Amino acid sequence: MAWRLKLVPTKTNIDFFRWQFVTFGASVVAVVASLVLVAVMGLNLGIDFRGGTTIRTESSQPVDVGAYRQALAALNLGDVSITEVKDPTFRADQHVAQVRLGAREGEEAVTPEVIAQVETALKAVDPAISFPAVESVGPKVSQELIWKAFLAVAAGSVGILFYVWMRFEWQFAVGTVAALLHDVIVTVGVFAALQIKFDLAIVAALLTILGYSVNDTVVIFDRLRENLAKYKTMPLREMMNLTANETLSRTIMTATTTFIALLVLFIFGGDVIRGFVFAMLFGVVIGTYSTLYVAKNIVLMLGVDRGDKPKKDTGEFASIEA
């Protein structure tokens, strides 16, 4: 037999429900903790959602945050934050900082004068400075963007709920959506805990997590449906374990390839999309976890009506000749 890299042995017999109260409890705690974190600490909202201006500075001189702050303090701009951006992909003489100005009370539009003032003040501190990116979002647009982002996640969940309901049974749909909401909420919670910038791109990442998590869950449910038709008398709990073990190799394999691809992007993709990629990396891990420990538990709790045969046995697509 040829050598194969195997992360999962050929035959596994893991009882995924053995610690079900611990694992499910942990998930419930994580969701509640995330909600509390978001409520208490709040998210580090980017200008997309909060309004304001960010200016990215780049210079061959090292960044002196103190000097920058002093230079800008004279301008009386209100809420100003300056952070140095460090990244392994930068060249040795590439020093980057991010200046963030809060949205100004009662201003719908952004004022170019303010940006010009900031640029002049920073140029005085460091003549070699340049401004490779300047972004401003007015408070009105940012309000709408928040609403749209929320709507996107909600619409995504509802769409998935209906699709899974249509293809499987309602219990599966509830389990799937519970699992993916768990993933999204905990990811947002991690963003609150670590205070990573939360902007529009992160919402795209959340939606991808949604898609990934569902993908994973649906594959197991698909197999479960097949097994339900095959073993009519096996208890549901046992059958779920059988199914999860049968598909475990695939679950881990896909999670690993996706994780590898994302990890490479995380390391080499530059600082601009690092937060975005971080969200997705985290999402792959939690999506895999929730597939094994959340979605099935909910289906088990709700029970599956096995009186009549499952609506569709192996799925109508299986008979199509490929």
Partner 1 sequence: MTPTALWKRLLILAVCLWGVFAALPNAFYSRVEGHNDAAVAIEKAGGVATPDQDAALGTWPAFLPSALMPLGLDLRGGAHLLAKVEVEDVYKARIDGLWPEVRDALRDLRDQVGAVRRAPSPDDELRVTVSNPEGMVAAVQAVQALATPVYTLTGVGAADIEVTAEGADIVVRLSEAERAASDDRTVQQSLEIIRNRVDEVGTREPTILRQGSDRILIQVPGIGSASELKTLIGTTAKLTFNPVVKTTTNAGADAGARNALLPARNETGLYYIVEETPVVTGEELVDAQPSFDQNGQPAVSFRFDGAGARKFGDYTAANIGAPFAIVLDDEVISAPVIQSHIPGGNGIITGSFTVEESTELAILLRAGALPASLTFLEERTIGPELGADSVAAGKLAAVIGMIAVAVYMVASYGLFGVFANIALAVNMLILIALLSTIGATLTLPGIAGIVLTVGMAVDANVLIFERIREELRAGLSPPKAVEAGFARALSAIIDSNVTGLLTALIMFFIGSGPVRGFAVTMSLGILTSMFTAVYVTRLVVELWLNARRPKTIVV
In 4-158, which ranges are E strands?
44-45, 52-59, 80-85, 95-102, 130-137
With vertex at residue 266, the alpha carbon angle to CA 261 and CA 270, rounded to the nearest 5 degrees, is: 125
Burial of 260 (0-12, 13-18, 19+ CB in 10 A): exposed
Q: How many residues bind partner 1 (CB under 8 A)?
A: 87
Residue 285 makes contact with partner 1 by CB under 8 A: no
List the interface residues with partner 1, window 12-51 (CB under 8 A). Answer: none
Interface with partner 1, residue 85, by CB under 8 A: no
Nearer to partner 1, 202 or 300 (CB): 202
Residue 57's contacts (CB-CB under 8 Å, 6 or more residues apart) are: 63, 68, 96, 97, 98, 99, 122, 129, 130, 131, 132
Should residue 105 be labelled a site residue for partner 1 when binding is judged by CB under 8 A?
no
CA-closest candidate to residue 228, choices 321, 315, 133: 315
Q: How far apart are CA 207 and CA 197, in angstroms?
A: 17
| Single residue of 33, 85, 236, 273 touching partner 1 by CB under 8 A | 273
Q: Is 169 in the site for partner 1 (CB under 8 A)?
A: no
121: its two tokens: 């003040």
Q: Is 120 in the site for partner 1 (CB under 8 A)?
A: no
Site string for partner 1, 50-69 (x = CB under 8 A): ------x-x-----------
Out of 21, 86, 112, 124, the residue judged to bind partner 1 by CB under 8 A:
112
Sign of the Cα torsion 248, 253, 255, 256 reads positive
Binding flag, residue 314, partner 1 (CB under 8 A): yes
If one asks whether residue 104 binds partner 1 (CB under 8 A), the answer comes out as no
| Residue of 69, 123, 237, 250 interacting with partner 1 (CB under 8 A) | 250
Rounded Cα–Cα distance for residues 224 and 36 (Å): 35
Residue 219 CB: number of other CB atoms within 10 A? 16
Nearest to 65 by CA among 45, 51, 86, 44: 86
286 in Cβ contact with 198 (< 8 Å): no
Q: Which one of the spans 22-30, 63-71, 268-276, 296-304 is the region binding partner 1 (CB under 8 A)?
A: 268-276
Work out whether 4 is an interface residue with partner 1 (CB under 8 A): yes
Residues 130-149 close enough to bind partner 1 by CB under 8 A: 130-138, 140-141, 145, 148
Interacting span for partner 1 (CB under 8 A) from 19-27, 72-80, 196-204, 230-238: 196-204
Nearer to partner 1, 102 or 211 (CB): 211
Indicate the residue among 153 and 186 with the shorter CB distance to partner 1: 153
Q: Which position among 28, 32, 301, 318 is part of the footprint of partner 1 (CB under 8 A)?
A: 318
